[in-house]
Amino acid sequence: MLTLGFFFIALLYSIVGFGGGSSYLAVLAIAEIPYEIMPKLSLICNLLVVTGGSWHYYRNGNFNKRLVLPFVLSSVPFAFLGGLYPISEKTFMILLAASLVFAGIRLLFVERSESEVVTLPSTLSSFIVGSCLGLLSGLVGLGGGIFLSPLMLNFKWGKAKEVAATASAFIFINSLAGLAGQMLKGVPSDLLDFWPLFLAVLAGGQIGSYISNHKKVSHLFVQRGTAVLILIIGSRILYKILSTVPDLQ
């Protein structure tokens, strides 16, 4: 069931240009996988999904280097440091739950409309956003695209395809840097036992990327359905955390 779930997560997320890290983490949390290995699994799966997506966007000419590079270059050192920094299980779960709830709300209300007027962000804005999202990505095991994409759409920093291409590249680089930091803390001996998940997301990601670039599909429907899913799971994790807090009285 975990393998099947990862396949469909990769399929749905790759259609809208994401890697699926938020939902991988949510499902792993529900399955009670040890928190030390969760970011590593999520980041590996992110890489497997967005590699194909990034290639499709590049081949179709959707990359805007002026838009992509500042976000990517600023995120790399912070994603690495975030992955390297040790945090407790409670801190990890709080960050995960808060990230899922916030991401769900952002995805639920953002419109995927094609803007007539596009204004590129300033280099400073790109560096601030890239640094903050890179740090969060490394700490928790997210790619960061699920936060970057709604932000770019809201501020009209790019056309829909450019935003998806930027998010895809951002997720790839962030996941690579975050994974490097995570692995320096130690490589779990049972990491390769999860190989069916890696195959599942590789297949789902390739299919989703092809659909996104060659077929007519309602991105808004997929996006909002995904938002509801991670909102429910994020709220459940947050409730579980709060319910374990001792009564101050």
| pLDDT-derived band at 111, boundaries 50, 70, 90 | low
| pLDDT-derived band at 222, boundaries 50, 70, 90 | low
Average pLDDT over residues 16-43: 85
- Percent of the chain, pLDDT > 90? 21
Report the pLDDT value the prediction gives residue 232, as an integer from 0 to 100: 79
Report the pLDDT value the prediction gives residue 41, as an integer from 0 to 100: 92
Q: Encoding tokens for residue 181?
A: 């930091």
Average pLDDT over residues 44-70: 82
**CA–CA distance, 132 with 144 (Å, rounded to integer):** 9
Average pLDDT over residues 186-210: 87
| pLDDT-derived band at 236, boundaries 50, 70, 90 | confident
Report the pLDDT value the prediction gives residue 1, as an integer from 0 to 100: 83
**CA–CA distance, 148 with 163 (Å, rounded to integer):** 9
**CA–CA distance, 37 with 44 (Å, rounded to integer):** 11
Report the pLDDT value the prediction gives residue 249, as an integer from 0 to 100: 40
Q: What is the mean pLDDT of the chain?
A: 82
Average pLDDT over residues 6-32: 83
Query: Regarding predicted confidence, which is higher, 116 or 175?
Result: 175
**CA–CA distance, 73 with 131 (Å, rounded to integer):** 9
Contacts of 40 (CB under 8 A, 6+ apart): 141, 179, 182, 183, 188, 191
- What is the distance between the terminal CA atoms of the chain, rounded to a whole angstrom? 42
**CA–CA distance, 190 with 37 (Å, rounded to integer):** 9
**CA–CA distance, 141 with 135 (Å, rounded to integer):** 10
Identify residue 208 by its one-letter amino acid code. Answer: G
| pLDDT-derived band at 130, boundaries 50, 70, 90 | very high
| pLDDT-derived band at 248, boundaries 50, 70, 90 | very low
pLDDT exceeds 60 at position 244: yes
Other beta carbons less than 10 A from residue 210's beta carbon:
15
